[in-house]
Structure 1
């Protein structure tokens, strides 16, 4: 009898101790999980009062944890707090003007290299040709009142699933698309589905997402032709569509247009098949006409081509002018761009022809948007001029070719990797803000 009592007592003590230890471990683990949420303010850039509110709620729920089914309540808590943080951060970002800000260091960049991306053309491959510094790749854009998320290739491709995007304009537009291919390579490499071998008219297919990206070379956005074999003088027809792209874009969901540098060259302007003026050309009895009028009319004609499609599927995006940064001379007189760090916004400003190009672009965009909206069309503005103005350090200069080649310095195009990669940050955030697609709620790695 005594032996049975002893066994019963020890059994009871063992069960009691096991229950106490298990409960303590579960509570410790649960409270540790709750403490994870103190880092939410860093993840989502919440303000101090918003962070404190979440922390207070967390502390309150900590005190209640021991009275609940911990596993289920903590899962719900985690989801609720994360959802709340995301909503508050999203609302703050949507109210923020993302195109005004400064460049700040980003030690995590770049997100690809010149050896991991095959779509980097020689004249953009600054590291291959011996550029000695690499800090120009390690910056990100910081809006004045919020954080601009770094481009997420998985999220972008999810948004673009089953859709298509065309880049129409000059070589900076092509530079932009090549940057996109390199950034997207972390998620998927595209296959070439081009109709031609001409790299000015390329199409790329992302098979896993059924997403197509294409580029259309049209530096004047309207019909243009060389006057001579050297291309020193160009005829542009300000009231005629460039059908190399206008006949193709009806099949695309997004059309990103740009233009600028080419309008500063010698040009003969035509309207209604007749010469109306000439810029920087020695022709007699021809009215001198500056680029301003021609630039405005070219954009107006380009927008007219899109609006005339009457296709409410097409979303027109203007990516504004990216300034060049020649110093110590013009492009063909020894000008160079040897700076190695960005400007601060207080150190330079948009002025001269850079300001005029930007102003005309935006004016014509708003005019077209007003007309297009009446027909159910969508327009979006990527006003990246100010951000790119502050990056004199991002060009190839003399590192876009072999030192044995006698070529002018390139202070127009952008090194890859480099500042032009940030255009993807702006593009993705603008697409997200406009709510043009519903992205499944999931984590993107």
Structure 2
């Protein structure tokens, strides 16, 4: 299915002087969204809404942001634009060239006959992204030198995580890179030792603690989330320099959500039912509170990836 030719996202991008380094990171995050049709919201610096001002409007920043080292276009809203066909520069890597793609994500190997879905490029209104046909993996790795970047959420963010590694790994000698899974399968870490950097993925489909937190066995129809439990996972996100959250699809059960008060270990569990909207709002507020409390606004960039219209099935 082709991505839409136009998009209006709910993203918030604070006005700042953006460096080529930061633009490269932003361009990557927009690029990999082509696989899933994602919208983005960038939560930078000041995370609390300003009274009387809608969150959808740009908020003027004060001071220099993390990773904003050089000059760039001020006020460039890279989240407002359209998809354009690009036969010349896409795709940026071939599925067969990347050993890190999980089998369930190998569309070509599973017999998908076309490659049209790989030939789209995001074009913002009124400004340009760096030319991705000459994607500079060295610049990206230098940007990440000495830093941790983490994707947190469900399989959509796992796909973003894998795509980023596929763009970078060929530049790194085999004896200087590794991929390991920790935390009972929830945390996967790719390391580039020469750069003292890690790119990580943490499985938490609701961000809050839930009965779907097992990274392997999680296809549970009767889903339950635990209220006020974001620290259960959040303790693993601390100290990250670039954090990309996503959560949406798992809340869409078509039924009211079950919310647990107390602990999953309690003998007599108190479970209430609330609307999907109320439950999702609870999760978002928890994420924002956690980010305000635990993220260094002078050091860390936080992004939020919102909804996808569909979760593509293999073979389509």
TMscore range, shorter length: 0.5 to 0.7
**Structure 2 stretches lacking a partner, 5+ long:** 1-70, 264-268
Q: Structure 1 residues 229 and 295 mapped into 2: Cα distance closer, same or farther (>3 Å)?
A: closer
1:258 matched residue in structure 2: 246
Q: Could you tell me whether the CA contact under 8 Å between 1:226 and 1:233 is conserved in 2?
A: no
Q: Could you tell me whether the CA contact under 8 Å between 1:254 and 1:315 is conserved in 2?
A: yes
How many Å apart are 1:125 and its aligned residue?
1.1
Distance in 1 (CA, whole Å) between partners of 2:218 and 2:164 is 33
Are residues 1:300 and 2:267 paired?
no
Distance in 2 (CA, whole Å) between partners of 1:137 and 1:229 is 29
CA RMSD of aligned residues (A): 2.9
Are residues 1:319 and 2:292 paired?
no
How many Å apart are 1:315 and its aligned residue?
2.0
1:140 matched residue in structure 2: 121
- Equivalent residue in structure 1 for 2:158, among 163, 174, 182: 174
Q: Could you tell me whether the CA contact under 8 Å between 2:205 and 2:212 is conserved in 1?
A: no
2:95 matched residue in structure 1: 114
Distance in 1 (CA, whole Å) between partners of 2:219 and 2:147 is 39
SS in 1 for 2:127: coil
1:187 matched residue in structure 2: 171
Distance in 2 (CA, whole Å) between partners of 1:323 and 1:230 is 18
The count of aligned residue pairs is 230
2:85 matched residue in structure 1: 105
Distance in 2 (CA, whole Å) between partners of 1:195 and 1:230 is 20
Higher RCO (Cα < 8 Å, 6 or more apart): 2
SS in 1 for 2:146: coil
How many Å apart are 1:155 and its aligned residue?
1.3
Distance in 1 (CA, whole Å) between partners of 2:212 and 2:169 is 37
| Structure 1 residues 250-271: Cα deviation after superposition (integer angstroms, max 9, x where no partner) | 2322221110000112531134
Structure 1 or 2: more helix by fraction: 1
Distance in 2 (CA, whole Å) between partners of 1:226 and 1:102 is 35
Distance in 2 (CA, whole Å) between partners of 1:104 and 1:230 is 35
Distance in 1 (CA, whole Å) between partners of 2:297 and 2:152 is 19
**Structure 1 stretches lacking a partner, 5+ long:** 1-89, 279-288, 327-394, 400-408, 410-445
Normalized against structure 2, the TM-score is what?
A: 0.65
| Structure 1 residues 122-181: Cα deviation after superposition (integer angstroms, max 9, x where no partner) | 222111122111122112111121221124322111111111111111111111100100
Q: Structure 1 residues 254 and 271 mapped into 2: Cα distance closer, same or farther (>3 Å)?
A: same
Q: Structure 1 residues 229 and 240 mapped into 2: Cα distance closer, same or farther (>3 Å)?
A: closer
Structure 1 or 2: more strand by fraction: 2
Distance in 2 (CA, whole Å) between partners of 1:158 and 1:226 is 36
> What aligned pairs does 1:324-335 form with structure 2 within 5 A after superposition?
324-325=309-310
Distance in 2 (CA, whole Å) between partners of 1:299 and 1:317 is 14
Normalized against structure 1, the TM-score is what?
A: 0.47
SS in 2 for 1:213: strand
Distance in 1 (CA, whole Å) between partners of 2:218 and 2:303 is 31
Q: Structure 1 residues 176 and 230 mapped into 2: Cα distance closer, same or farther (>3 Å)?
A: closer
> What aligned pairs does 1:374-413 form with structure 2 within 5 A after superposition?
395=312, 397-399=313-315
Q: Could you tell me whether the CA contact under 8 Å between 2:244 and 2:305 is conserved in 1?
A: no
